[in-house]
Chain A
Amino acid sequence: MRPLRNVIYIQTQNSWLHKDNDNLVLKVEKETKARVPIHKLQGLVCFGQVTISPYLMAHCAENGITITFLNMFGKYLARVEGPVSGNVLLRRTQHLTGHSIEKSVAIAQTMLTGKLYNQRYVIRRYCRDYGEQISDKNVLAQLQTAEKRLTRCLTQLSDCKGIDTLMGREGEAAQVYFGVFKHLIRQPDFEFDTRRRRPPTDPVNALLSFCYTLLTHDCRSALETTGLDPASGFLHQLRSGRPSLALDLAEEFRPMVDRFVLSLINRKQLFIKDFETLPNGSVTLKEEPRRTLLAAWQDRKQDTLLHPWFEETVPIGLLPWLQAQVLARFLRGDCDSYVPFLWK
């Protein structure tokens, strides 16, 4: 398997990054804080006030290391990337495939199959691990019902003939899933009633939103390294500036992110005091706990899982890259369908 290289998250304000021979050097107030060999990197993600020397940018661009700038809350600002990778035939096929409603629906359907399958896994796994500790029989019944309804949505996906109906099923599944999500949280301080974006107004939603941003970033990089066009999706509509395909690819991994968020809360890696509410009512994670989260995110990527299609054990951090490969190979005619990652 290809080596898993690191994404480095820089969130110390007023950091200055530059290149010294083959190392990346991080300075704060002229003091060197870190030094990393550049060849070990896959990407740099900068939060807020971080500046980078043009020579380091050029070096990263040449070596396929992408640099992403986000604001303090994880909102996308800008990105520096090297020349488009050489796979023009792949991109052309991707765009032609996108023109065909039928083919787009087929791909979108398999991607959502992955998402719903993995959502169901989150619930199943919880019942398996904690089922006996759930004293409230009503809660247990709700979880079991949700599981059954997800199974039904899952099997109905294959009947969908258009993106709209697919989205409809997906929305239904999301209601079922997030309807019982509160039961998976075992720290009473953290309340959750429904999934809320733009802006998140409670800690759980804030965590979900933040981690989905990290996920989308990883998916986008994976697509770029594979030579696919991250902006041209099948499920998500094309919109200038939107990485539609990265959002498509992220779908099957969202439940994994949900479980990651749950474990941060349930294992008491994060506490309610780690969040603050801004004047507009949006909730965000404070700087120090965010460091904890990013470190846990990096650790999580080192964990391994069985990839059922390849029948190989792979680091979680490589999954988006592997799935981008599956998509590329499908588009180039190596197999008869895209297969999502199924979490077992």
Chain B
Amino acid sequence: MQTFEPIFLSRLQHYLFCPRQFALIELEGVWAENQWTAEGQVLHKKVNQPDQQKRGAIRTAWALRLANEELGIEGIADVVEYHKQENGTEIPYPIEYKRGKPKTHRADEVQLCAQALCLEEMHGITVPDGALFYGEVRRRTAVVFDTELRNLTQETIAACRMIVQTKLTPKAIYKSKKCSRCSLIDQCHPKGFHKSAAAWLAEQIKED
């Protein structure tokens, strides 16, 4: 039996954006409310009430709690559609709502795939695909959970677990494009700590 604390599905995308950001949030409780996070919450509010509805062959569940005990992950799915098959079984189809538009990195796909891994364990069924819904373009993008995405998702979970267990915050690696978009830049100081503090201080004292 696994005894570790579960990792939240939503944190996986933090790791993929920047491992240090994940550690600052997960280990150090650092959180910065900015426009980015505030808007994200407003968008999520609409889908955050647990509910279900049936229309034709599709049963839709909102704000569904998910977990995969073996992998040690848990979270809430915005929307899961259960598509009725001809043989009467239902196949879950997770849909995640995202502000903005489709991204070049795979963080959103990994988060969705992790939901699928939860649904697979919970229902004992294979979940072949799902969709991401991007607010800005108002369009569904279909995502297939192939081996490559499944591997990436498992690796990401393992890497997050490593940080949680060692309790070590990775050092900052400053990349101006990424860091300028990061909501934690003021607490992270990615540029500040690249030099030896002791040597710097000694130098200042010696100077005069």
Judge whether A342 is part of the interface by a CB distance below 8 angstroms.
Answer: yes
**Contact check: which of A89, A227, A330 meets B197 at CB < 8 Å?**
A330
Known contacts A329-B189, A329-B193, A335-B197; decide if A88 and B205 are in contact (CB<8 Å): no
A-B contact pairs, 8 of them (CB 8 A): A87-B28, A89-B27, A110-B201, A309-B200, A326-B192, A333-B168, A334-B171, A340-B201
**Which residues on B sit within 8 Å (CB–CB) of A131?**
none
Known contacts A113-B201, A308-B204; decide if A335 and B29 are in contact (CB<8 Å): no
- How many A-B pairs have beta carbons closer than 8 Å: the answer is 63
**Which residues on B sit within 8 Å (CB–CB) of A87?**
28-30
Q: Mark A325-342, 1 if CB is under 8 A from B, else 0.
A: 110011011111111101
A336, B197: Cβ atoms closer than 8 Å: yes
Judge whether A85 is part of the interface by a CB distance below 8 angstroms.
Answer: yes
Judge whether B187 is part of the interface by a CB distance below 8 angstroms.
Answer: yes
- Please measure, in the bound complex, the distance between the C-alpha atom of A87 and the C-alpha atom of B27, giving whole angstroms: 7
A227, B193: Cβ atoms closer than 8 Å: no
- Please measure, in the bound complex, the distance between the C-alpha atom of A55 and the C-alpha atom of B166, giving whole angstroms: 41
Whole-angstrom distance from the CB of A318 to the nearest CB of chain B? 10
Judge whether A302 is part of the interface by a CB distance below 8 angstroms.
Answer: no
Number of interface residues of A (CB under 8 A): 32
Whole-angstrom distance from the CB of A2 to the nearest CB of chain B? 4
Known contacts A309-B192, A329-B193; decide if A339 and B201 are in contact (CB<8 Å): yes
Known: A310-B192, A337-B197, A342-B204. 12 other contacts (CB 8 A): A89-B28, A113-B201, A117-B204, A308-B204, A332-B28, A333-B169, A334-B171, A334-B189, A334-B193, A335-B193, A337-B198, A339-B197
B201, A337: Cβ atoms closer than 8 Å: yes
Whole-angstrom distance from the CB of A115 to the nearest CB of chain B? 13
Q: Mark B148-192, 1 if CB is under 8 A from A, else 0.
A: 000000000000000000011101100000000000001101011
**Which residues on A sit within 8 Å (CB–CB) of B189?**
310, 325, 329, 334
**Which residues on A sit within 8 Å (CB–CB) of B208?**
151
Judge whether B89 is part of the interface by a CB distance below 8 angstroms.
Answer: no
**Which residues on A sit within 8 Å (CB–CB) of B2?**
none
**Which residues on A sit within 8 Å (CB–CB) of B187?**
325
- Please measure, in the bound complex, the distance between the C-alpha atom of A326 and the C-alpha atom of B171, giving whole angstroms: 14
Whole-angstrom distance from the CB of B189 to the nearest CB of chain A? 6
B169, A332: Cβ atoms closer than 8 Å: yes
Judge whether A154 is part of the interface by a CB distance below 8 angstroms.
Answer: yes
- Please measure, in the bound complex, the distance between the C-alpha atom of A330 and the C-alpha atom of B197, giving whole angstroms: 9
**Which residues on B sit within 8 Å (CB–CB) of A155?**
205
- Please measure, in the bound complex, the distance between the C-alpha atom of A151 and the C-alpha atom of B197, giving whole angstroms: 20
Judge whether A188 is part of the interface by a CB distance below 8 angstroms.
Answer: no
Known contacts A309-B200, A337-B198; decide if A90 and B171 are in contact (CB<8 Å): no
**Which residues on B sit within 8 Å (CB–CB) of A141?**
none
A154, B28: Cβ atoms closer than 8 Å: no
A 143-158 contacts with B by CB, 8 A: 151, 154-155
By beta carbon, the residue of chain B nearest A106 is B198
- Please measure, in the bound complex, the distance between the C-alpha atom of A86 and the C-alpha atom of B189, giving whole angstroms: 19
Judge whether B196 is part of the interface by a CB distance below 8 angstroms.
Answer: yes
**Which residues on A sit within 8 Å (CB–CB) of B193?**
329, 334-335
By beta carbon, the residue of chain A nearest B34 is A2
Judge whether A1 is part of the interface by a CB distance below 8 angstroms.
Answer: yes
**Which residues on B sit within 8 Å (CB–CB) of A330?**
197
Whole-angstrom distance from the CB of A102 to the nearest CB of chain B? 14
**Which residues on B sit within 8 Å (CB–CB) of A1?**
186
B29, A339: Cβ atoms closer than 8 Å: no
**Which residues on A sit within 8 Å (CB–CB) of B204?**
117, 308, 342
**Which residues on B sit within 8 Å (CB–CB) of A90?**
28
- Please measure, in the bound complex, the distance between the C-alpha atom of A102 and the C-alpha atom of B38, giving whole angstroms: 44
Whole-angstrom distance from the CB of B63 to the nearest CB of chain A? 24
Whole-angstrom distance from the CB of A65 to the nearest CB of chain B? 14
By beta carbon, the residue of chain A nearest B171 is A334
- Please measure, in the bound complex, the distance between the C-alpha atom of A227 and the C-alpha atom of B29, giving whole angstroms: 9
A336, B30: Cβ atoms closer than 8 Å: no
- Please measure, in the bound complex, the distance between the C-alpha atom of A332 and the C-alpha atom of B204, giving whole angstroms: 24
- Please measure, in the bound complex, the distance between the C-alpha atom of A332 and the C-alpha atom of B189, giving whole angstroms: 13
B186, A88: Cβ atoms closer than 8 Å: no
Whole-angstrom distance from the CB of A228 to the nearest CB of chain B? 11
**Which residues on A sit within 8 Å (CB–CB) of B201?**
110, 113, 337, 339-340
- Please measure, in the bound complex, the distance between the C-alpha atom of A113 and the C-alpha atom of B203, giving whole angstroms: 13
- Please measure, in the bound complex, the distance between the C-alpha atom of A341 and the C-alpha atom of B196, giving whole angstroms: 15
- Please measure, in the bound complex, the distance between the C-alpha atom of A52 and the C-alpha atom of B44, giving whole angstroms: 35
**Which residues on A sit within 8 Å (CB–CB) of B172?**
334
A113, B205: Cβ atoms closer than 8 Å: yes
By beta carbon, the residue of chain A nearest B25 is A86
- Please measure, in the bound complex, the distance between the C-alpha atom of A89 and the C-alpha atom of B168, giving whole angstroms: 10
**Which residues on A sit within 8 Å (CB–CB) of B205?**
113, 117, 154-155
